[in-house]
Amino acid sequence: MASITEIRVRFCETDAVGHVNNVSYFIYLEQARVDFIKALLPDRSEKQWNIAVVSLHCDFLDQAYFDQVLTIRTAVKRIGTKSFTLSHAIVEKSAGKPIAMGESVVVLLDAEKKQAVPLDEIWVGELKKHLEGETKGKASCSNS
């Protein structure tokens, strides 16, 4: 099961060439990640999330432009003991054209100690419901 976030490209997110600037995609991925986690743990407030992004990347496949509507499909790619990886597929809504693919690696954080802590059973249980493809039910148990 994936989460879908819809974004309408604003003029300020484009550059001098007229397409969406590469920096804007990271803002889109942030919005998709926030929407995913809000839906994943609706009973926890943002103050209870205690998460940090430790890796984020985006591969650009095609261009997007002002006023286009993009959909971002977010799913869980991997679950570790202290981290999970989200996959993000950005598609131009009307044509279904792939625009970009991204990944976010997120850790549960002890803010006072400034270090990653093991994912609790609530996080793991909810994340497992959103594992994509062939990895479903085969959660990784690495220390990252």
pLDDT, residue 2, reads 81
pLDDT band at 45 (very low <50, low <70, confident <90, very high): low
pLDDT, residue 43, reads 79
| pLDDT of 70 over the 80 cut | yes
Question: What per-residue string of b and e applies to 98-118 under the rule 16 or more CB within 10 Å gives b?
Answer: ebbebbbbbbbbeeeeeebee
d(CA 132, CA 109): 24
Element (H, E) at 34: helix 22-40
Select the more confidently predicted residue: 112 or 5.
5
3-135 is classed CATH 3.90.550.10: no
Tallying the residues shown for the chain, one arrives at: 144
d(CA 32, CA 51): 15
Structure confidence by residue, pLDDT tens digits, 84-98: 999 999 999 999 999
pLDDT band at 46 (very low <50, low <70, confident <90, very high): low
pLDDT, residue 136, reads 41
- Tell me the C-alpha to C-alpha distance, in Å, between residue 125 and each of 58, 79, 82, 142: 27, 10, 14, 17
Structure confidence by residue, pLDDT tens digits, 54-67: 999 999 999 999 99
Share of the chain above pLDDT 90, in %: 74
What distance lies between CA 1 and its chain's CA centroid? Answer: 14
User: In this structure, what DSSP letter does residue 68 have?
Assistant: -
pLDDT, residue 47, reads 60
Mean pLDDT of 113-120: 93
- Tell me the C-alpha to C-alpha distance, in Å, between residue 110 and each of 37, 43, 114, 119, 141: 18, 20, 6, 11, 20
> Is there a contact between 82 and 49 (Cβ–Cβ < 8 Å)?
no
Mean pLDDT of 91-118: 95
pLDDT, residue 48, reads 66
